[in-house]
Amino acid sequence: MSAAVTDSASLAPTTDIASLRGDFPALQQRVHGHPLTYLDSAASSQCPQAVIDAIGTQQGLNHANVHRGVHQLSERATLAYESARERVRDYINAASEREIIFTRGTTESINLVARSFGGSRLSAGDEVLITWMEHHSNIVPWQMICERTGAKLVPVPITDAGELDRAAFDRLLTDRTKIVAFVHVSNALGTVNPARELIGKAHAAGAVVVVDGAQAMPHKRVDVRDLDCDFYAFSGHKMFGPTGIGVLYGKENLLEEMPPWQGGGEMILTVSFDGTTWNHLPGKFEAGTPNITAAVGLGAAVDYLARIDFAALEAHEAALLEHATERLGEIDGARIVGTAADKASVLSFVIDGIHAHDVGTIVDAAGVAVRTGHHCAMPVMDRFGVAATARASFALYNNHDDIDRLILGLGQAVELFA
Ligand code: C6P
């Protein structure tokens, strides 16, 4: 493990980003006889040893149900689960742990808001404003609730660079707009949206704002009170934690007013055949046994991120993106999809005459993992007139050698198809 991250005596966050790679055991392996070059962190990032250890301890020694038993193991599990919630709260600077709802991930978080908040607030004549660069999980839940309530879904167009059309946003945001839902960082294009500005405008128009933060969390230090968003959704597995856990942050006054969306244990105070009363926050939105071990893993991931200097991290990733963008220029027929001025370290591209899936398969043979397809963002693919792209996404553990190996693999793909 990198000394800077694990040295508990040192309170200064680590600026030596390159040293972090050693914390990730998965990156030490070989794939198809080559060192693994993992460039698919936007789909799922790898876990550092500290997260793997926390999961092992929770599952190996503290495994029991939470909030239910008086015995030692249940108390330990409850403590670990609630301490993970407190660490998440602290990390994103939420005002209270009642504002941190554990979910299965971003998708479930957005479905919760759409069903509970949207379902109780929207009616015919209302509008939900989203953008053309949304992941399906920030489109389909809104489509479903609009269909149920009679509200209208309004997508804001994007420019040829893959940026939000700000003039169109201003035009389409009206007094009919009740909810504005947008992605903080686009998974298909890398575009970083001006979240604070959009939130300010939406609030001025009287709308409530839902931010899809799935791709922002591994790259940015998010402060929900500074953003002043009403809801912020994210997934553990994209921020160096495990799968099966995510968070919905919501302002307490809004969550208080919202009805529960799933019924069962944990979300109630009393149950009788005459009627049932709901639990206090956050339990009201956490029906059933939660993914305790994954929550503990997310807590450890948050601890890991909290010890990193994000200015250094952003500089490291900007250098990776610049190097990759430059070197992709050497590949005949390669074209980048998504050229926003403010971009996270996500590089989507197509190569003339080679299907994205073939690109992915050929570089995989050289140990290079990229994602290919529509990235669950079909409207983005339509907008740019492509069926699919290949996408290299970089995280804190990547380096220039990773990019050079990708370019070598792409060169081989071009030769093969020439
Ligand atoms: N994007 C990708 O490869 P879940 O699956 O619930 O953890 O996250 C959904 C999601 C929501 N919003 C954005 C912006 C996302 O990028 C994702 C997941 C993965 O790009 C899988 S499609």
| Ligand 1 interacting residues, C-beta cut-off 6 A | 42-43, 105-107, 135, 137, 183, 187, 212, 214-215, 235, 371, 375-376
Mean pLDDT of the 263-288 span: 97
- Beta bridge pairs of residue 308: 14
Catalytic residue among 47, 146, 229, 376: 376
pLDDT of residue 6: 41
pLDDT of residue 10: 53
pLDDT at 384 over 70: yes
Q: Which of the listed residues 39, 44, 102, 106 should we mutate to test ligand 1's pocket, taking the one with most ligand atoms within 8 A of CB?
A: 106
Q: What is the pLDDT of residues 103-151, one digit of tens each?
A: 999 999 999 999 999 999 999 999 999 999 999 999 999 999 999 999 9
Residue 390 Cα, ligand 1 centroid: separation in angstroms?
Answer: 16
Q: Which of the listed residues 238, 298, 337, 374 should we mutate to test ligand 1's pocket, taking the one with most ligand atoms within 8 A of CB?
A: 238
Tell me the domains of the chain and their CATH numbers: 3-48+309-417 (3.90.1150.10), 54-306 (3.40.640.10)
What is the spatial distance between Cα 418 and Cα 414, in angstroms, rounded to a whole number? Answer: 6
Residue 213 Cα, ligand 1 centroid: separation in angstroms?
Answer: 10
Q: What is the pLDDT of residues 3-12, one digit of tens each?
A: 344 444 457 8
Q: What is the 3-state secondary structure (H, E, C) of the chain?
A: CCHHHHCCCCCCCECCHHHHHHHCHHHHCEECCEECEECECCCCCCCCHHHHHHHHHHHHHCCCCCCCCCCHHHHHHHHHHHHHHHHHHHHHCCCCHHHEEEECCHHHHHHHHHHHHHHHHCCCCCEEEEECCCCHHHCHHHHHHHHHHCCEEEEECECCCCCECHHHHHHHCCCCEEEEEEECECCCCCEECCHHHHHHHHHHCCCEEEEECCCCCCCCCCCHHHHCCCEEEEEHHHCCCCCCCEEEEECHHHHHHCCCCCCCCCCEEEEECCEEEECCCCHHHCCCCCCHHHHHHHHHHHHHHHCECHHHHHHHHHHHHHHHHHHHCCCCCEEECCCCCCECCEEEEEECCECHHHHHHHHHHCCEECEEECCCCHHHHHHCCCCCEEEEECCCCCCHHHHHHHHHHHHHHHHHHC
Mean pLDDT of the 321-335 span: 98
pLDDT of residue 69: 82
What is the spatial distance between Cα 295 and Cα 159, in angstroms, rounded to a whole number? Answer: 38
What is the pTM (predicted TM-score) of this model? Answer: 0.97
Residue 214 Cα, ligand 1 centroid: separation in angstroms?
Answer: 6
Q: What number does the ligand 1 atom closest to the CA of 105 have?
A: 6
pLDDT of residue 8: 42
pLDDT at 374 over 50: yes
Active site residue 376: yes
Residue 181 Cα, ligand 1 centroid: separation in angstroms?
Answer: 15
